């Protein structure tokens, strides 16, 4: 079982390639609040719903001082297709070797159809301006998650 992050922990730093092949580093976002969410795979129904919900909410999240980063093990080219296909406006990051997933406890043994498998645990982290974890949510639902997160953050 991977160690899970909790509120008050220092968020593990990372630098990953985006869907536009740019490097995005958590350290470069110091001074902003950042929502980092991990999802299993681009262009699957649940992940599409979640990404679209984040995109639709992005202007108001940014207005409240949050940046949003979606992280998966997909290659940047697949992420670019995902962004174009679904008109996504958030930044999508590629973590092909799963190192960042593991640092955040978002890749571990989970139950899938009654069997134990290794896989991505749909997770969301809110990181404050100093790089500390403000909120760590594991095993979140794809549908309705953004609305719940907004409520948890006191935005709705």
Question: Exposed, middle or buried: residue 57 (CB in 10 Å: 0-12, 13-18, 19+)?
Answer: buried
* pTM score of the predicted model: 0.95
Which residues participate in catalysis according to the annotation? 47
Contact 39, 50 (CB under 8 A): yes
Contact 129, 11 (CB under 8 A): no
First to last CA, the chain: 34
Q: Confidence band (pLDDT; 50, 70, 90) for 64?
A: very high
- pLDDT tens for residues 11-49? 999 999 999 999 999 999 999 999 999 999 999 999 999
């Amino acid at each position: 079982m991977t160690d899970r992050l909790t509120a008050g922990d220092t968020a593990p730093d990372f630098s990953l390639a985006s869907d536009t092949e740019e490097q995005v580093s958590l350290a470069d976002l110091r001074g902003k609040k950042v929502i980092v969410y991990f999802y299993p795979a681009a262009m699957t129904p649940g992940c599409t719903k979640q990404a679209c919900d984040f995109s639709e909410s992005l202007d108001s999240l940014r207005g409240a001082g949050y940046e949003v980063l979606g992280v998966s093990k997909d290659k940047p080219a697949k992420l670019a297709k995902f962004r174009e296909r679904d008109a996504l406006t958030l930044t999508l990051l590629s973590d092909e070797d799963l190192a960042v997933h593991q640092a955040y406890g978002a890749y571990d043994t989970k139950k899938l159809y009654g069997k134990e498998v290794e896989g991505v645990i749909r997770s969301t982290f809110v990181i404050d301006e100093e790089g500390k974890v403000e909120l760590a949510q594991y095993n979140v639902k794809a549908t309705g998650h953004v609305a719940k997160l907004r409520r948890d953050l006191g935005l709705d």
